[in-house]
A and B are shown apart, each in its own frame.
Chain A
Amino acid sequence: MSNPTWQSPEAQKRLAKRHAAERRFKALGLGAVVLSVAFLALLLVIMLKNGLGGLDWSFLSGADSTNPDIAGVWGAAKGSLLTMLVTLLLAFPMGVLAAIYLEEFAPRNKWIDIVEVSINNLAAVPSIIFGLLGLAVFINTLHLPRSSPMVGGLTLALMTMPVIVISGRNAIKAVPPSIREAAYGIGASKVQTTFHHVLPLALPGILTGTIIGMARALGETAPLLMIGMRAFVATPPGGVTDPSSVLPMQIFLWSDEIDKGFVQNTSAAIIVLLVFLLAMNGLAIYLRNKFEVRW
């Protein structure tokens, strides 16, 4: 009744070999994941070990100094805050309006194709190129104040806008046509339909994308290096035109210091930055889970 070929020792051996290969492959996959996660854990543990001792109130409320014991992170954090404010005020409205236009109103023609291609490409252009743009246009041509949160915010806004446009378009696309048709049905115009019905429903998705884009901008260093935000600033900036530093730049500047005390400061500043980023991403996930509607 049984097929002798399948029960022969050769076949059994081959089968065992194939199953062993299967187990090896699975272990390889698990190994890759574990290795990546282990690297993340190592990074976090080393930063926590080096930096946790330096986190106290005077560190969180002080500004930069040449003395590692009194140097603090508030000056840079305030610079980051002002820069992000400028970025948000510019990139969010622009990005949302552009997403609305491209998704709801744009005619299908060559010009709109060019806009779409350039948005997709801008999202992948290296950030340092935006720094070169900021240097050439905002500082050398328009003579805006160097090292200021205003120029930093402008530069980062150009970088963040494509991210907001892309996520905004996806969020608007996800709103089902029935919503629009219902609005048309009771006599709403196209603009009314978009702003009264489609936009509010797409807003959670847009906000999630915006927060993720802002988190990326908050961690960005290279473009700000180009526009001179690496100045030593011992007092927190008072406004968007004052010279200032930002958190990632402070990390970069301290990492260059020879004094051993700055190792602790650098790691502590990294913890502060990572906490901010974690909070932003957490907020994005919360918003997505709470408000996202599955149609």
Chain B
Amino acid sequence: MILTGILLAVVGLGLIGWFVGRGRARLLYDGRGSMHSMPNYHGWHLALWIVVPALVVWAVWSGIQPGLVEGALLADPAAAALPDNAMHRSAIISQAYLLANDPGAAVFASEAQALAAPLRAIITRFSLIGALLVAIVAFTGGAYGFTRIRARFEARTQVERVVMGVLLLASLMAILTTFGIVASLVFEAGLFFKDVSPIAFLTGTHWSPGNAMGADIDENFGAVPLFWGTIYIGAIIAMAVAIPLGLMSAVYLTQYASRRVRKWLKPILEILAGIPTVVYGYFAALTVAPMIRDFAASMGADNPSTESALAAGLVMGVMIIPFVSSMADDALAAVPRAMSDGSLALGATRSETIKKVLLPAALPGIVAGVMLAISRAIGETMIVVMAAGAAANLSANPLDSMTTVTFQIVQLLTGDQEFNSPKTLSAFALGLILFIVTLVLNIIALRVVKRFREAYE
């Protein structure tokens, strides 16, 4: 592509400009204090004057060139033979583009062959015009920058101003991402709620988006079973595993284990947090779920399903252990040593001190950690996709197959249906709910943690 070549050429020119500017500035140096800025900064200043305006022109030109090429092609005599049917016509044109880029490409429209040669000429023509424009701007910018090289010129101040601008832009990316998430979720969810009433969505108990059509569309988008499944797996089963194990691990590692044992066990425990969720999902589906099914069968359950809420929740709980453990670790470490020392001095045993003094004092931090853990568990996707099942059951039996919000988002968006059907849009509505819930949990938890830390400082 010629456009890519131009880009490289601009960067090359900038590099040359850097050396030229620096060399020119060095000639101006005659003794200490004779210049405001070091020669390097003059180099940077000149390079910026060459590259930045040229890049702006390049970006604008690559935006408008395809339109110009298309217009010129249709005005070309070779395009007069094109059929009037818009779809047929655009098919031929896109084939011609393929041929123009790669003469050996296999095409099936014979008209495209005739168009390819003029099209190639047009693309070359416009690319050359673009290259010329960029070159003119680069040299004008460079010339202006060059005339400003003086001993007293404050090149460093100018360059640093640009650096500050770049830094500010980088930090605004975070806001932009948050805004992008909120905007895209709200927009698509808004389209969905045009078709389906929000009240039916939030309070309905029947979920089958597959056969949602026509007048009774509201009745098939009741998301309560999804919310229930999410809470049951993520906030009840997973936490029943993660809270006791994580908390007790933290207590053992901080209060009982010797330094050497702690040094080894803590990283090993943290490996659990580093294992990808898809591996947990596979493990849940391959090993844990059949084990639970066999266990259920031996307990007399008739026809237990392989996909159970229990399998997904158990494995998810194990995944969360290191997270709970490190949050509890921080909370316990924040309790002043004088408090536990005082308790021990009164004759309490270690476990009495932990239960009666340390844990109550660290409770706010631990609760915040659990909230963060819940927000992570309900947003977890791969484990439930691979182990929890698709049936939207509203049941309290952990051996039943249950579905979650994240599972349904995946299910709804990985098929090949058109993008604007209520079925696909409902995924964004579910995403919006998930986003809001996790956001609220995170904000509250971070507040609690902050206040808790301040209380003991």
Chain B residues with CB under 8 Å of A85's CB are none
**Docked pose: A102 CA to B435 CA in angstroms:** 25
- Is the CB–CB distance between A158 and B177 below 8 Å? yes
Contact of A32 with B249 at beta-carbon distance under 8 Å, contacts A101-B170, A129-B181, A230-B414 already known: yes
User: How many of chain B's residues have a CB under 8 angstroms from any CB in A?
Assistant: 86
CB distance from B151 to the nearest CB of A (A): 18
**Docked pose: A277 CA to B277 CA in angstroms:** 13
Q: Render A1-35 as a binary contact track against B, CB cut-off 8 A, 1 for contact.
A: 00000000000000000110110111011111101
9-residue interface stretch from B16-24, B54-62, B127-135, B263-271 = B263-271
- Is the CB–CB distance between A100 and B167 below 8 Å? yes
Contact of A266 with B282 at beta-carbon distance under 8 Å, contacts A114-B175, A277-B274 already known: yes
Contact of B379 among A31, A43, A126, A228 (CB under 8 A): A126
Most chain A CB atoms below 10 A, which of B278, B352, B354: B278
Q: Give the nearest-CB partner of A251 in chain B.
A: B278
CB distance from A179 to the nearest CB of B (A): 19
- Is the CB–CB distance between B406 and A128 below 8 Å? yes
Q: Give the nearest-CB partner of B184 in chain A.
A: A136
Q: Give the nearest-CB partner of A139 in chain B.
A: B419
B26 within 8 Å of A by Cβ? Answer: no
- Is the CB–CB distance between B178 and A122 below 8 Å? yes
**Docked pose: A252 CA to B167 CA in angstroms:** 39
Chain B residues with CB under 8 Å of A285's CB are 267
Interface residues on A, range: 35 or more
Contacts A128-B431, A273-B276 aside, 19 further interface pairs with beta carbons under 8 A come to A26-B351, A29-B252, A36-B245, A114-B175, A115-B172, A115-B175, A121-B443, A124-B376, A126-B380, A127-B379, A129-B181, A136-B187, A140-B419, A158-B177, A226-B413, A255-B278, A255-B281, A273-B279, A281-B274
Query: What are 23 residue pairs bridging A and B, where the CB atoms are less than 8 Å apart in the complex?
Result: A18-B352, A24-B351, A36-B321, A43-B280, A94-B170, A117-B443, A121-B439, A124-B372, A125-B435, A129-B181, A129-B379, A136-B428, A140-B419, A161-B174, A191-B163, A219-B274, A228-B414, A252-B385, A255-B278, A255-B282, A263-B286, A273-B276, A277-B275
Binding site for A on B (CB under 8 A): 156, 160, 163-164, 166-168, 170-175, 177-178, 180-181, 184-185, 187-188, 244-249, 251-253, 255-256, 265, 267-269, 271-272, 274-283, 285-287, 318, 321-322, 349-352, 354-355, 372, 375-376, 378-382, 385-386, 406, 409-410, 413-414, 419, 427-428, 431, 434-435, 438-439, 442-443, 446
